[in-house]
Structure 1
Amino acid sequence: MRVMKWSIIALAVAAGTSQLAMASSQDESKGFVEDSSLNVKLRNLYFSRDYRNVPNTEQSRAAEWGQGFIGTFESGFTQGTIGVGVDAIGMLGLKLDGGKGTAGTGLFPTGSDERSQDDYSKGGAAIKFRISDTVLKVGDQFTSLPVLATDDSRLLPEMAQGALITSNEIKGLTLNAGRFTSITAQDQTNRDGGIHLTKADVLGGTYAFSDELSTSLYYSKVEDYWRKYYANVNWSLPINDEQGLVFDFNFYNTKSTGAALEKAYDGDKIDSRAFSLSAAYTIGAHTFTLAHQRISGDGGYAYGVDGGGTVFLANSVARSDFNSEDEKSWQARYDINMATFGVPGLSFMTRYIRGTDANVSSGNNGKEWERDIEAKYVLQEGPAKDLSFRVRQATYRSSDAVYNNSSPSIDELRLIVEYPLSIL
């Protein structure tokens, strides 16, 4: 599940002109070692989920606490016409608390005895080549394409395996093309553990017409599952130094193409369209956002085998995606940045989303709602600069079991402490 964050700064896309760059990135390469970087992100996460009104025979609560280490090494490129480099990823997760009766948060692998492992690790590497401003990367990598995005909502992120070309030969235009053959899940150590991706081809790009307007168009074909088209238009409209508007439109067209999907969905086929439109108004420290999302056609919006983050829709939030067949949903959100009031680094967010008309097993009028509250503080200076503390609470209810047939009522709490270390 991908949590979208809307703000004037985050949604504005840095643009350029359509003219060719005079000096390429490869021309400015300093070398394999000279341009290298090594970073480690420390993530401490407590995750608690209460399932309300569940049968006595089922687990009513999942709660675990862990410490994660996410290390990334990125070399520079060798000098010359074709630059060569290497990237590496190493991750370690340690369980600090959690027993057999409270397992299942997705933080750790779970054994046959229904207990979470005390620790787990995973990693990989990729080789990369650069000509001018075009890079080919082959191997293990994190991805953030709207048709193939690795999820990072638990202790350790997903990791995709494949090849991806990223071209920035024209200023303002980014083109992507790639093929991926597996994804390592967040709570797994083996490639494609539980995700079952065998092949996904992706193609598309983003073009910024100006500092205020950008568009994206992508296509993907996931073997035995579906093909997708994705389109986006993002328009930021500054009013003055204190005020601004951001409009963001997202659209997916998904059609099932294989037996694996029909088996996963009990023989159902998918031929759906999903769109969301959001409008964010910022005035000083305050941002007010309204969003509408709608699913039409046969089946809901499906994702997951192509990455747990492949849902670039406004109402994909902490607990639910509001993406059932025929579902319509609205969101109201409020953000405040306390830097304006003399407390830089402190921010708050709250939002409410309501979905109706979902076509689910109980009928075609399924309803659900979710309320999220978040507080975050990031140290701005000192030896622990960039250390962040975050509290996230989500309340989810559905009288028609839209999200989960056995648990229509869920309360969720996440306590997250992160500290990024730059070693090289």
Structure 2
Amino acid sequence: MRVMKWSMIALAVSAGTSQFAMASSQDESKGLIEDSTFGVNTRALYFSRDFRNEPLDGYETVNGKRKSRAEETGLGFNALFESGYTQGTVGVGFDVIGLLGVKLDSGKGRAGTGLFPQGSDGRSQDQYSKGGGAIKFRISDTVLKVGDQYTTAPVFASDDSRLLPELPQGISLTSNEIKGLKLEGGHFTSSVSQSQTYHDSLGLTKTDFAGGVYSFTPELTASLYYAKTEDFFRKIYNNINWTHALSEDQSFALDFNIYDTKSDGEGKQRAYKDGSTKLDNRAFSLQGAYTIGAHTFTLAAQKVTGDGDYGYGVDGGGTVFLANSIARSDFNAEGEKSYQARYDINMATFGIPGLSFMARYVTGSGANTATTNNGKEWERDLEAKYVIQEGPAKDLSLRLRQATYRSGDGVYYGSPSIDELRLIAQYPLNIL
């Protein structure tokens, strides 16, 4: 199948060479300053975890003392300046990233949500900051970037699920020379985690990846990626996505994802099952969604086969493009199979644009971990979101997310029962 898929891409490349005569992004460059943008995304986040029915009155520890709750509030500022490119055959530009997190509410007994760095006394820091920059070069529709940058590749994706995002450092190359085909690659040697300020805080040694996405038709796209994270694992990722309009207000979509993972070198990320087995597994998911008017109904199935769980994290906390990777659990243990039912409603159809609701339930079984064989777990997520559509606060989003997680076997986290609540207010300020 891989030979056929690469042959199809090669055919598309050959067929698309005539398009090089068209105007490119670099041809249309207005200049370094003229095309620049600057924005600050502000995020206020209340994060609470209630470790219920815990042995010894709690799961997470502070200085060896167990606690039954983690609860913190913070304010994050994510500033990004992106210059345009100088004119000419080779355009040159730069990006600058500035990140600041401020603690609004916490306590020694309530720290540990992952929002802030913690000191040796178990207390969260009052504030923390990080940032960096990158230089970039563009020829036609191909961009080379060197330095600090966010990543979204399915085999190397920076996470943004807390107050501030992860920030990797390295080299990336992205090409959109052919209509419908995106090719990209990267070489990254460090990454700053969400709640830390120093390089290498994710423990990354080196990740190299390459891959691309091709749109065969407006309805059908496919992705293929390869990545190697030194002394951890190598991954192959494939995705097929098909969306079809059934009528003016009805559509159906299918999404298939698969990761093939094997340990590399020292195999630092071991299987959870016994702490010594190296990873050699396949994790795949199939998701179908039917939309009719304001309503979307989704069903998904996911399975992990082979030795060990689907491992990720050192290659980015977002590197898990699987259907059942949700708010609390990823349902990615060795041998685990899981199923999801989800419902979304968009209230714009009923005269309230910007308001939406979501509910989903995932159940997993057959999980083999360090604490159990054939373990079971389930999670229920509820979400309400409203985005202001006009006026001085236009684009301000307000979100409430609640997750209930249970596992009688303690499949993950050493905690069989967790109730999680997040209140998120986010406002993007576009200055340039």
TM-score in terms of structure 1 length: 0.94
Judge which range, 329-338 or 357-366, deviates more. Answer: 357-366
- Cα drift, residue 268 of structure 1: 2.1
- 1:100 and 2:100 matched: no
Structure 1 counterpart of 2:165, from 157, 180, 191:
157
Give 3-state SS (helix, strand or coil) of 1:340's partner: helix
**Greater relative CO, 1 or 2 (CA 8 Å, sep 6+):** 1
Contact 2:369 2:411 in 1 (8 A): yes
Matching residue of 1:13: none
Matched AA of 2:28: E
Matching residue of 1:365: 374
Structure 1 counterpart of 2:147, from 121, 139, 142:
139
Matching residue of 1:250: 257
Q: CA offsets, 1:149-208, max 9 Å, x none?
A: 000000000011000000001010000111000110000000121x10010001000000
Contact 2:233 2:267 in 1 (8 A): no
Matching residue of 2:211: 204
Q: CA offsets, 1:75-116, max 9 Å, x none?
A: 000000000000010010000000000000000000101000
Whole-Å separation in 1 of the counterparts to 2:121 and 2:373: 39
| Aligned pairs for 1:232-311 within 5 A | 232-261=239-268, 266-311=275-320
Give 3-state SS (helix, strand or coil) of 2:217's partner: coil
Matching residue of 1:215: 222
Q: 1:289 to 1:386 in 2, by over 3 A?
A: same
Q: CA offsets, 1:263-304, max 9 Å, x none?
A: 796322000000000000000000000000000000010000
Give 3-state SS (helix, strand or coil) of 2:109's partner: helix
Matching residue of 2:322: 313
- Cα drift, residue 262 of structure 1: 5.2
Matching residue of 2:29: 29
Matching residue of 2:74: 66
Please report the RMSD computed on the Cα atoms of aligned residues, expressed in angstroms.
1.2
Structure 2 counterpart of 1:382, from 388, 391, 408:
391
- Cα drift, residue 53 of structure 1: 2.1
Contact 2:147 2:169 in 1 (8 A): yes
Contact 2:180 2:214 in 1 (8 A): yes
**Structure 2 unaligned runs (5+)?**
1-14, 58-64
Matched AA of 1:69: F
- Cα drift, residue 210 of structure 1: 1.2
Matching residue of 2:9: none
Give 3-state SS (helix, strand or coil) of 1:317's partner: coil
Q: 1:121 to 1:362 in 2, by over 3 A?
A: closer
Matched AA of 2:376: K
Whole-Å separation in 1 of the counterparts to 2:391 and 2:423: 23
TM-score in terms of structure 2 length: 0.92
Matching residue of 1:327: 336
Matching residue of 1:348: 357
Give 3-state SS (helix, strand or coil) of 2:313's partner: coil
| Aligned pairs for 1:111-150 within 5 A | 111-150=119-158
How many residues are paired up?
406
Give 3-state SS (helix, strand or coil) of 2:39's partner: strand
Matched AA of 1:89: I
Judge which range, 145-154 or 49-58, deviates more. Answer: 49-58
Structure 2 counterpart of 1:86, from 89, 94, 118:
94
Matched AA of 1:170: I
Contact 2:376 2:407 in 1 (8 A): yes
Give 3-state SS (helix, strand or coil) of 1:239's partner: strand
- 1:402 and 2:411 matched: yes
Matching residue of 1:52: 52
- Cα drift, residue 362 of structure 1: 4.4
Contact 1:262 1:268 in 2 (8 A): no
Identity of aligned residues (%): 67
Matched AA of 2:337: K
Whole-Å separation in 2 of the counterparts to 1:196 and 1:253: 22
- Cα drift, residue 353 of structure 1: 0.1
Give 3-state SS (helix, strand or coil) of 1:339's partner: helix
Whole-Å separation in 2 of the counterparts to 1:264 and 1:323: 11
Matched AA of 2:185: A
Give 3-state SS (helix, strand or coil) of 1:20's partner: helix
